């Protein structure tokens, strides 16, 4: 199943909401530090409600630490960005994909995006809207990947 990777997330409630989505879908969640908050943050815990025992959570202190795990397990890294090359709906997902999302303020760095196997975007009808909320972007993308792979609940 695809896995969700948050690189340097900054806003605890977004990460908590994403953790909740991952718990509901039995999706592994990887947090890549440095984080903009402590794992024990009360807003993070509140957003995740009492679902934390069901989250398959992995914390990597650095991008290098995450890369070692990714290399060990294999699969494609798919970077999500407003400047991504592929519309996420038209992209063909695979079971071993890693869905990478950057921080709420800066997104994924150009270096991370260039190292990805592909970059995807979520199209928006209003050009004045820069981006969607991180937790919404993760949910939309994860459910599309699961839909394509026949893994709907």
- Which amino acids are annotated as binding site for S-adenosyl-L-methionine, given as ranges? 102, 122, 131
C-alpha 35/C-alpha 47 separation (Å) is 16
Cα end-to-end distance, the chain, whole Å: 13
Residue 76 phi, psi dihedral angles, 5° rounding: -90, 145
C-alpha 17/C-alpha 94 separation (Å) is 24
């Amino acid at each position: 199943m695809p896995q969700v990777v948050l690189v340097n997330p900054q806003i605890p409630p977004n990460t908590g909401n994403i953790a909740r989505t991952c718990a509901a879908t039995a999706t592994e969640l990887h947090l890549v530090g440095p984080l903009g908050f402590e794992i024990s943050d009360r807003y993070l815990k509140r957003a995740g409600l009492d679902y934390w025992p069901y989250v398959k959570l992995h914390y990597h202190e650095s991008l290098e630490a995450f890369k070692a795990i990714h290399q060990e397990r294999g699969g494609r890294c798919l970077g999500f960005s407003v400047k991504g090359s592929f519309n996420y709906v038209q992209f063909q997902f695979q079971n071993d994909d890693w869905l990478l999302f950057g921080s709420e303020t800066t997104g994924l760095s150009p270096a991370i995006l260039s190292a990805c196997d592909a970059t995807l975007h979520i199209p928006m009808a209003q050009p004045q809207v820069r981006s969607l909320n991180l937790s919404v972007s993760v949910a939309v993308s994860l459910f599309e990947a699961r839909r394509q792979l026949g893994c709907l609940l």
